[in-house]
Amino acid sequence: MRWSCADLENPRLLNLEGPTVGPVVLRSPFILAPMAGLTNWPFRRLALSYGAGLTVTEMVSSVALSYRGPKTLGLLKTDPRVEKPFCVQLFGKDPDRLALGARIALEYGADIIDLNLACPARKVVNSGHGAAVLKDFDLAVKLVEAAVGAVPIPVTVKTRPAWAPGWPDILALAPRLAQAGAAAITLHGRYGTQGFTGEADWSWVSRLASAVSIPVFGSGDITEARDAVKLLEKSGAAGVYIGRAARGRPWIFRECLNLWSGLDIPIITPAERLEAAVRHARWLYEEMGPKAAFPLRTVLMWYTRQLPGAAQVRAAICREEQVERQLQILTEAFLKAPEA
Ligand SMILES: Cc1cc2nc3c(=O)[nH]c(=O)nc-3n(C[C@H](O)[C@H](O)[C@H](O)COP(=O)(O)O)c2cc1C
């Protein structure tokens, strides 16, 4: 059975309502994780169309935002008729600049400001941003206070268990963040120094959820809908972030909703996979025009995963500079697939 709001037989779907972040009610507990360079408006729009409970912009530099450059403001592109609530993720290490960035995000329609204390990228941590802020809990608290003082909307934090093993950890920091006014915390269960290596330790999510009274969201290594529902049900988390697994698989949110509601996971047909890819491409084209061909080399590759001869299809798509041709190649590959 497919998930639909009008499914009158299932009371869990009828009363579908996600967790709350301050006064903001999310649509469901399954959230598209922010991914720099990927979770632009077209991708978020696609995830929402499959039932994502919240989407988050990629991280935006609060300093860059304070200059209001067109490229940075472009990261705040949304459509309030579709993306509600609108969550803007900021990073920064200067409380005043962060406050200014939060005010500008509010001006552009933000309903939630999320503070990134999680990014492990060298460029980011070497300049003292992202996960590196976890080396200085006082600064983390000041940043939250500054953002909370600047805007009348919820401020949340996305972070890691600690900068590195042996460093003061989130269980010590979280009550201070809550005291400073953070409305929720999302935890990716890897240390800052771990980057994306090793495995996400979900026990941190459970421990954090029991340590604070604000909602805690879990992130890390959700590869399929079953993982998401398991983390949600076992950890005490209010919701689950899905990142890499949603690339080329935006219907994972629909799968989560079905499973969470006690329904079967709907089988996605090749025709539906192709339709999702085409919509992704069309929405990217609407934003970028012919330049969309460049990101589409990566994006369309995600959707070829189960196709026979996927490597050749990818190579052919990468050689093309026109979106129309790229989609033609993808469509032909789907039509040739035996199950199509
Ligand atoms: C390419 C990429 C970019 C990311 N960019 C961000 C970001 O801008 N902000 C953030 O908080 N996390 C970012 N993350 C981390 C994800 O939000 C998520 O916490 C992490 O990937 C673990 O979840 P997953 O295993 O479901 O992907 C990024 C991850 C990836 C793979």
3 state SS of 231: helix
76/153 same-domain check: yes
**Banded pLDDT at 5 (limits 50, 70, 90):** very low
Nearest 5°: phi and psi at 308? -65, 140
Q: What pLDDT, in 10s, does the model give residues 195-237?
A: 999 999 999 999 999 999 999 999 999 999 999 999 999 999 9
Same domain, 244 and 210: yes
Residues 274 and 231 in one domain: no
209 and 93 fall within a common domain: yes
pLDDT of residue 16: 67
> Ligand 1 centre and the CA of 115: distance in Å?
13
Confidence check: pLDDT of 253 > 70: yes
Coil, strand, or helix at residue 117?
A: strand
Task: Say whether 209 sits in a helix, a strand or coil.
Answer: helix
Rounded to the nearest whole angstrom, what is the distance from the C-alpha of residue 63 to the centroid of ligand 1? 21
The answer, yes or no, to whether any atom of ligand 1 lies below 6 A from the CB of 119, is yes
With respect to residue 1, please indicate whether it lies within any of the assigned structural domains: no
pLDDT at 335 over 70: yes
Ligand 1 pocket member 58 (CB < 6 A): yes
pLDDT of residue 147 exceeding 80: yes
Query: In the predicted model, is pLDDT for residue 338 greater than 80?
Result: no
Domain count across the chain? 2
Atom of ligand 1 nearest to the CA of 34: 17
Return the DSSP state at 238.
Answer: S
Probe residue for ligand 1, chosen from 188, 202, 223 as the CB with the greatest number of ligand atoms within 8 Å: 188
Q: Which of 233, 260, 287 is the last residue of a domain?
A: 260
Q: What separation in Å is there between the alpha carbon of 120 and the centre of ligand 1?
A: 10
CATH no. for residue 228? 3.20.20.70
How large is the average pLDDT for residues 98-102?
98
For 291, the 3-state DSSP assignment is helix
**Could you give the angle at the alpha carbon of 279 between the alpha carbons of 273 and 285, nearest 5°?**
140
| Shared domain check, 283 and 189 | no
Q: Which two tokens stand for residue 228?
A: 């998401």
Can you read off the two tokens belonging to residue 23? Answer: 């006064």
Catalytic, 87? Answer: no
The separation between CA 135 and the C-alpha centre of its own chain, rounded to angstroms, equals 24
Cβ contact 29:6 at 8 Å: no
How buried is residue 236: exposed, middle or buried, by Cβ count under 10 Å (0-12/13-18/19+)? middle
Specify if 6 maps to a domain. Answer: no
Q: How many angstroms does the Cα of residue 160 sit away from the middle of ligand 1?
A: 11
pTM (2 d.p.): 0.94
Higher pLDDT, 7 or 168: 168
Q: Is the dihedral of CA 95, 151, 68, 71 positive or negative?
A: positive
38 and 158 co-located in one domain? yes
Q: Are residues 254 and 110 in the same domain?
A: yes
Q: Is the CB of 159 under 6 A from ligand 1?
A: no
Q: Which pLDDT belongs to residue 306?
A: 86
The answer, yes or no, to whether residue 318 has pLDDT greater than 70, is yes
**What pLDDT was estimated at residue 37?**
95
Domain for residue 254, yes or no?
yes
Instruction: Retrieve residue 197's tokens.
Output: 């290596």
**Residue 178 sits in the same domain as residue 107:** yes
In a domain, 5, yes or no: no
Burial (CB count <10 Å: 0-12, 13-18, 19+), residue 174: buried
Mind listing the pLDDT tens digit for each residue in 266-301? 889 999 999 999 999 999 999 999 999 999 999 999
- Percent with pLDDT over 90 in the chain: 90
pLDDT for position 337 = 82
Tokens of 118: 């999680």
Name the H helices within the chain.
11-14, 41-49, 62-66, 70-74, 95-107, 122-126, 137-150, 170-179, 203-211, 225-235, 252-260, 270-288, 293-302, 310-319, 323-336
Our mutation pick for probing the ligand 1 site, out of 30, 35, 249, counting the most ligand atoms within 8 A of Cβ, is 35
C-alpha 39, offset from chain centre:
7
pLDDT surpasses 90 at 106: yes
Q: Is 60 in the pocket of ligand 1 (CB under 6 A)?
A: no
Same domain, 168 and 123: yes
Q: Which domain holds residue 116?
A: 11-260
The pLDDT of 63-67, averaged and rounded, is: 97
User: Measured from the CB, is residue 195 less than 6 Å from ligand 1?
Assistant: no
Stretch 86-105: mean pLDDT = 98
* Averaged pLDDT, 159-168: 98
User: Above pLDDT 70, what percent of the chain?
Assistant: 94
- Asked if 112 and 87 count as a contact pair (C-beta separation under 8 A), the reply is yes
Does 308 map to a domain? yes
Q: Assess whether 51 and 101 both reside in one domain.
A: yes
Residue 9 has pLDDT above 70, yes or no: no
Cα-to-centroid distance, 101 and ligand 1 (Å): 21
pLDDT at 325: 97
* Residue finishing a domain among 260, 292, 324: 260
Nearest to 240 by CA among 32, 23, 8: 32
Q: Which of these three, 229, 260, 291, is where a domain ends?
A: 260
Does the C-beta of 304 come closer than 6 Å to ligand 1? no
From the candidates 5, 119, 256, 318, give the one annotated as an active-site residue: 119
* H helix or E strand, kind and range, residue 28: none
Q: Is the pLDDT of residue 302 over 90?
A: yes
Give the type of residue at 41: W
| Gyration radius (Cα) of the chain, Å | 20
Residue 159 lies inside a defined structural domain of this protein = yes
My answer on whether 102 and 175 are in the same domain is yes
Mapping DSSP to helix (H, G, I), strand (E, B) and coil, where does residue 242 land?
strand
Please provide the average confidence, as pLDDT, over all residues in the chain.
94
Ligand 1 centroid to Cα of residue 54, in Å, is 15
**Whether residue 240 sits in one domain with residue 113:** yes
CA nearest ligand 1 atom 4, residue: 35
Residue 157 falls within a domain, yes or no?
A: yes
| Nearest atom within ligand 1 for CA of residue 158 | 11
